[in-house]
């Protein structure tokens, strides 16, 4: 029998699926080092094809050694079990067929900002019902809602959240994608790689519990995939690029944000699938995705 409520001495830590650093024996210090602008040291190279493979593999320990066919079956059974059984623990939703349509639609729109009315129309459900469904799917840890950055009263800042599948393997396997097709499809590879990066950042952030992750978009089409803030108020802007070729143009939104929006120390990073750390001005770096494992 527990007689003490443990009030003030109890914390909740979310256990995510395995991140690359856990698989590689890393220390989970990528964000700490990024704020220090320390990108030294060795790391394995990850090209675009490797990152896509890691995203398909996902982070559930059960699926790491599965064949592609077996992995797809496992993910589909996992989602079915959540929607048929576990859903009863968090909500009174009973229309599982409609809920599955919402899940598949959300997976297809992972890493995209969308109008809720678009989802309502696609699912043929009311806004109230969609809100209930999204709340339930979040409680089941199928999706994460990343809020908009709110560090300024700039009138043109967007306020919509961006939804990510909580594990990238959910996207690729539940939707029945194939690695080669995704590799050649810019839209799919972009969404999947950004979702994989989000999963890595969220795992690191949850481990350290000293960072908040948001995203930025405004009506002037300035957009930054992730804005990470530490306890000191410093900001880290992160753009995700699935390819290995980049140039100054890839830093234009980061540099605009640093000049116009940030009131604290700002570091801009483009995570890409190349092999070298490159500097693009004071505080701006191209960083290989492989460094997420350090």
Say what the pLDDT of residue 109 is: 97
Over residues 209-215, mean pLDDT = 92
The answer to whether residue 291 scores a pLDDT higher than 50 is yes
CA distances from 69 to 54, 61, 286 (A): 15, 16, 35
The answer to whether residue 166 scores a pLDDT higher than 80 is yes
CA distances from 274 to 25, 147, 192, 255, 285 (A): 21, 29, 17, 21, 12
Confidence category of residue 7, pLDDT binned at 50, 70, 90: low
Say what the pLDDT of residue 19 is: 93
Quote the mean pLDDT of the chain: 92
Confidence category of residue 230, pLDDT binned at 50, 70, 90: very high
The answer to whether residue 1 scores a pLDDT higher than 60 is no
Question: Which sequence spans correspond to the domains of the chain?
Answer: 20-293
Say what the pLDDT of residue 84 is: 87
The answer to whether residue 94 scores a pLDDT higher than 60 is yes
**What does the DSSP 8-state code read for residue 156?**
T
The answer to whether residue 5 scores a pLDDT higher than 70 is no
Over residues 193-213, mean pLDDT = 92
Residues 6+ apart with CB under 8 A from 49: 179, 183
Say what the pLDDT of residue 112 is: 95
The answer to whether residue 3 scores a pLDDT higher than 70 is no
Say what the pLDDT of residue 9 is: 61
Residue of 90, 100, 84, 102 whose CA lies nearest to 139 = 90
Over residues 82-105, mean pLDDT = 84
The rounded distance, in Å, linking the Cα atoms of 148 and 80 is: 31
Beta strand 278-279 with 284-288 is: antiparallel
For 45-89, write each residue's pLDDT tens digit: 899 999 999 999 999 999 999 999 999 999 999 999 998 888 877
Confidence category of residue 170, pLDDT binned at 50, 70, 90: very high
The answer to whether residue 195 scores a pLDDT higher than 90 is yes
Bridge partners (DSSP) of residue 239 are: 270
Only one residue has tokens 């952030």, namely 205
The answer to whether residue 12 scores a pLDDT higher than 90 is no
């Amino acid at each position: 029998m527990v007689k003490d409520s443990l009030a003030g001495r109890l914390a909740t830590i979310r256990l995510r699926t395995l991140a690359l650093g856990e698989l590689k024996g890393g220390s989970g210090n990528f964000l700490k080092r990024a704020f220090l602008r320390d990108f030294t040291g060795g790391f394995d190279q990850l090209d675009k094809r490797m990152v896509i493979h890691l995203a398909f593999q996902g982070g559930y320990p059960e699926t790491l050694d599965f064949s592609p066919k077996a992995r797809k079956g496992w993910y589909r059974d996992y989602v079915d079990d959540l929607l048929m059984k576990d859903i009863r623990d968090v909500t009174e939703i009973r229309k599982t067929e409609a809920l599955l349509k919402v899940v598949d639609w959300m997976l297809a729109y992972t890493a995209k900002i969308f109008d809720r009315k678009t989802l309502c129309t696609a699912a043929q459900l009311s806004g109230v019902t969609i809100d209930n469904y999204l709340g339930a799917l979040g409680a089941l840890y199928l999706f994460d809602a990343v809020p908009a950055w709110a560090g300024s009263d700039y009138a043109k800042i967007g306020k919509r959240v961006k939804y990510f599948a909580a594990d990238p393997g959910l996207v690729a396997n539940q939707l029945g994608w194939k690695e080669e097709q995704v590799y050649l499809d810019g839209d799919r590879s972009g969404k999947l790689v950004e979702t994989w990066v989000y999963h890595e950042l969220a795992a690191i952030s949850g481990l350290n519990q000293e960072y908040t992750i948001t995203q930025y978009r405004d009506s002037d089409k300035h957009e930054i995939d992730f804005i990470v803030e530490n306890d000191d108020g410093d900001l880290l802007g992160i753009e995700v690029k699935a390819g290995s070729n980049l140039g100054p143009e890839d830093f234009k939104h980061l540099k605009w944000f640093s000049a116009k929006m940030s009131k604290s120390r700002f570091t801009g990073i483009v995570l890409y699938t190349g092999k070298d750390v490159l500097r693009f001005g004071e505080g701006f770096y191209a960083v290989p995705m492989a460094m997420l494992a350090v």
